[in-house]
């Protein structure tokens, strides 16, 4: 059986963003990504330079760590990265469900897997222009196709500037049935080799106000504007 490439497993903590914000969760952060976003806040789980810090773990080993952290009490498990979609998570989701755990995945929508249909929550987070990445909407549609009606599916888009905001509006118009969450971007992400780094909290609040003003002025009343709650609480500290 293929092993899962893991950057870190931590928690319980709370989900800091998106549709599950505030919900207690255990994070399984994988290593490796097919994107290189300009403002990535988890380069330690993306850049191959840090491959030596990642562990190849069996499904049993990952599930054992989850149950250890949660004291055998079922909890939401957040599959993150990097891009967790490139990992073989199907057996973990199957075994975790049997033990009462639920699973949410966040991915940019560039890689689709059949096991998306078994998720409880699928957060599709296509990357806006400020990321310096280009969205392949055909690949994104493949993710929706394989997920089908299995998980709850939402859009989450990071917004730094007007171009990102316009991209988010266009994405929402393309997929009008998907709830959309807008997240003001962190302009002071940590370097890959830092366990912590200062955060411009005032800048984040200014950006929150700016996005709120944009959606209310535009009467975009089905958009959810949420902060990165974990950044507000703990800054760029890892493992919380």
Buried-exposed string 22-33: b where 16+ CB fall within 10 A, e elsewhere: ebebbbbbbbbb
118-167 pLDDT, tens digit each: 999 999 999 999 999 999 999 999 999 999 999 999 999 999 999 999 99
In the CATH scheme, what architecture does the domain 4-234 have? Answer: Alpha-Beta Barrel (3.20)
The residue behind tokens 């998720």 is: 119
pTM tops 0.95, yes or no: no
Is residue 193's pLDDT more than 70? no
Q: Which residue has the higher pLDDT, 128 or 187?
A: 128
CA dist., res. 140 & res. 107, Å (int): 10
Which of 15-24, 82-91, 106-115 is the least confident region? 15-24
CA dist., res. 198 & res. 175, Å (int): 36
Domain locations along the chain: 4-234
H helix runs in the chain, sequence order: 59-69, 90-98, 137-147, 162-174, 201-217, 229-234
Buried-exposed string 89-121: b where 16+ CB fall within 10 A, e elsewhere: bbbbbeebeeeebbbbbbbbbbbbbebbbbbbb
Which residue from 117, 118, 139 is spatially nearest to 127, judged by alpha carbons?
139
């Amino acid at each position: 059986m293929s092993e899962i490439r893991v950057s870190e497993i931590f928690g319980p903590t709370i989900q800091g963003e998106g549709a599950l914000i505030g919900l207690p969760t255990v994070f399984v952060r994988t290593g490796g990504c097919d994107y290189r976003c300009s403002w990535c806040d988890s380069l330690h789980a993306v850049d191959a330079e840090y491959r030596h810090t990642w562990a190849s773990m069996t499904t049993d080993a990952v599930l054992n760590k989850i149950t250890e952290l949660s004291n055998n009490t079922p909890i939401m498990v957040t599959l993150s990265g990097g891009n967790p979609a490139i990992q073989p998570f199907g057996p973990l989701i199957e075994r975790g469900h049997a033990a009462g755990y639920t699973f949410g995945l966040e991915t940019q929508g560039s890689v689709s897997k059949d096991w998306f249909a078994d998720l409880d929550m699928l957060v599709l987070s296509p990357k806006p222009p400020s990321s310096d990445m280009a969205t392949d909407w055909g690949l994104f549609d493949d993710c929706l196709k394989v997920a089908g009606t299995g998980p709850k599916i939402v859009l989450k888009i990071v917004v730094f500037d007007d171009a990102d905001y316009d991209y988010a509006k266009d994405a929402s118009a393309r997929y009008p049935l998907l709830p959309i969450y807008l997240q003001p971007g962190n302009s002071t992400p940590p370097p890959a080799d830092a366990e912590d780094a200062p955060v411009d909290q005032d800048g984040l609040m200014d950006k929150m106000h700016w996005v709120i003003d944009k959606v209310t002025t535009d009467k975009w009343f089905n958009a959810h504007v949420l902060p990165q709650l974990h950044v507000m609480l703990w800054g760029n500290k890892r493992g919380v």
